[in-house]
Structure 1
Amino acid sequence: MQHIAEIMSGRDSFVEKCSLVLDVLIDLVPADLLTLRRPGPDGNSMELVSYASRPGFGYVPPELVTDPNLISYQAYCEDTIKFLNNYAEVPEAFSGFVEIGDQSSAFLPLISRGNPLGLIYIISKERDHFTPERVQLLSTIKDGLGVLFENADLNDKISEELSQRRQTQSALAESEARFRALAESAADILWEMDLDGTYTYCSPNVRGVTGYGPEELTGRSHYEFMPADEAERVRDAFSILAGSGGDISLMEYIFIARDGRNLTMERNGAAVLKENKELTGYRGIDRDITGRIAAEENLRETSRLASIGVLAAGVAHEINNPLTSVMLYSEQVLLEEIPDNIRKNVETVNHQALRMSRIVKSLLDFARYSKPESRETNIALMLHRAIELKSYDLDLKKVTVNDERIPVNPEDSPLALLDENQIIQVVLNLLNNAEHASLVGDQPPQVSVGITVSDGQVTIGVEDNGPGIPDDVLPKIFDPFFTTKEIGQGTGLGLSVSQGIVRNHDGEIWARNLPEGGAGFYFKLPIIPRKSRAPVPPDGPVRP
């Protein structure tokens, strides 16, 4: 996304930027064909902006799409994301795509602030190409591209108008009328200010972004709405620009909103000149990029965590070799006649080596990529495996785990058809959150894990004895990139990804505050019948 953002903020034309972005995406997705369309001039069609394809693919998209029966046209009109992993079998499939070997297709409408900007559709000759991981990636890319395309398109329009204003006085008057009309409808803030940095005009939508009305900003210096050190930095930069008459390009600064939040704004502007070329001020556009900055930071953090996972898997491989030697030689020593005190020490070494071996195996199984595949899984064994994978970190931080509600005998556990690695990822995400929450406050940290069974479904619960979840935060916890942790402590993706995994298993996930304090996270999955299984008791510390 960082590379794409750099392309969209460059000086190429909008169409050239789109072509460069598609060239990046065709390898990132990956895909055989990527096509970008935007609304046609008549409003009842989609015109081609750009496309990218693999060498030898042999298909050139038409310039205009007008058939309302096409899946791509319906996805755009209905603002509906479609992922079809069996495209050739869909009755509405376009015969031209089927003939060239299209097996999987994705249709992604580009929307920003409720406005339709266009449609990206993706073709792959691979059946079942759009795995949950790729769907997650494309959903993130889609949301980011909607904002980036809107930003690039709007900035191109503004740059063109500002350039025209500098040419002649007559062109200035005409452009000013268009400028003010755009200010009334644009999603971003349009402004004018004098050389002292005092606002002489702000568009009405400034209220929705900052909480201040245009009448509250006009006549006041923009430095009043910045932190002291930020005001000093911007003042120095503004003085240099004003001294040279240069344009303002992609200047980022902090604006303190009415509610006290620090907004990261991106500013573009051009010098306002009299007929004698005397500089009188600046005119331009501000965009709130607080969300984009947070999303980019979270994507970088996610990439960093993925790299750490690969590194950890490599380290686990390296540990396996000497660990095998430790287990082998300790077992050989135990077969010999040795003093009891030495035998006890060797047994401890062998026991801990076996425990390390199980942890390494769990880490390798979890880190190794595999195509999502549902199979019969013992819920209790799966939960014990997840807890063991997390046990070292919990022991290190002295967090007690109560797993009494997990059957000890595997024969007493429910079975389910699921992708074990993915569900373990969900459990680990919940254990991580429970661990962090339980460490807040003076109480001894404790996490409870258990299951209940009813109506053909198993409910898996992870509870903590932390401070609970604030009422205003609870509705947002499954939103992508939402986190209450400090910067660098969380990506805000764990619960969102977990929700996607659970839903893909025909389940549901939710959270609640516990009456005695703390919070509980629960997810429910369908189970399969099993003969001669003792029922799991319905009552206990884990409550759905």
Structure 2
Amino acid sequence: MKKDIQMTVNKQENIVWMLDKDLKLRFVNPEIKDITGISNSEMTGKSIVELLPEDTVCRASEAIKKISKSIGAVETFEAGFTGKDGQYIWVEFVLTGIFDEKGCFNGAFLVSKIINEKKEVEERMIRAQKLETVGQLAAGVAHEFNNLFSIINLAAESAKFQKTPGSYTKLIRTIFETTKQGIGISRRLEEFAKPPTGEIAEVDITALIKNCIMILSPETKKRNINIELKAGKKITACTDRDMLLQAVFNIVQNALHATENNIGNIKIGIEKKRQETIITVKDNGRGIKEENIKKIFNPFYTTKGALGDGKERGVGLGLPISYSIIKNLKGEISVRSVEEKGTEVIIKIMDLDRIDAREDKEIIKERFTGKKSKKKTAVLIVDSDEKEVKLIENTLVPEKFEILKINSLKKAVKVFTDKKPEIVIIEHTGRDDEILRTADSLRKINPFLPVILISCIPERKMNNIRSEGTSFGIRDILFRPLDTALLIKTIKKYILF
């Protein structure tokens, strides 16, 4: 039976991977050699840290954390790496968890598929839509420049007839300010039209939205539509500036086209929650029929002219491209709309160098390769015995561990969520149910977390928690009086595993 399953998997066009709970590769199709140049036998038994690029490891570890929390959960992500012939390959990964009969996470199945053609089509669509948008903007900019040139021409003509230096200087200042305004318009259009660099950097989101509003200002002035930006202090995110600008521009332009002249109002909000940036674009336009909301991200679906029934022209690429861009930026985009009342689009993007992702990467590297990261390993001690806590602290601090201390199990989950320690030590005084519940809560947050108990109960009476504890993430039990050498040895076993 096992051989039949393996033969079936080997015949798949896609690459199937199987990881154990420690993220080590247990199986992969032989066809992997055609892509990477490394045979499946050479890869088997190695950790994904050794096999995949760092960015892919981060994305995989985030996805595995999610699927490990519930049976049947599925996660997808895209990643790129260089193949054996030097060609850059885009791969889509689909993951689901492997669980034992007790419902404990035991590993993961990954199915990977090369999507270079899909990516090329997406990139062509993005370029085509951008060129179309630049063409539309050019008409508005030409109108704006005509107005500016008229002001400059009038001021220059008037200057010829001025007799006092003061009047002459005032007209020269008008020409100078108007010229500067024209240069600003030209630069904003040039900035929008330039090809994306693909650079990930810290981006001033507030300035980006203001720039987007300025690019659209010729149309908003012409139609007397108000765009209101609500943002507090400077909000930044680590992302691809050019791609985000195009995605946001498409959405704001859509809102603009959905509103009526003279009464149109668009509200843009920016909010930062930890590593997540939320951008909302809300209009008071014609709204979207409920049955059409699920279609708006489909390519070539539009309610505008040419392909739709609206007054504005459009081919239905703006929102699908925005959706694709936001997904590539590890974000989400959703829409709420009421017909004849308006539409709200919500964009959520994560910082692409998320702090917790970097921490995950360092932990994984340290765990599988034995290479110490510069960051100290944090140990959370949950113990009401002050003398014992002091003993543990004096033992671990010289070994370059960071110590977090609390005296109550009730605080453990909150502190763990906030501080993200790599190891938890819990005092065991006989409250088995409470300890198992706490360990289970911690395991749901991080399925790879080692929990160590220090017990005052004789070893012969520990059969119950020994048999059940493993399923809840309890890896080891030490006994009082505490052997500090054994404590260090036990902790290092998990740090270097």
What TM-score does the superposition give when structure 2 sets the normalisation length? 0.43
The answer to which structure, 1 or 2, has the higher relative contact order (CA under 8 A, 6+ apart) is 2
What TM-score does the superposition give when structure 1 sets the normalisation length? 0.39
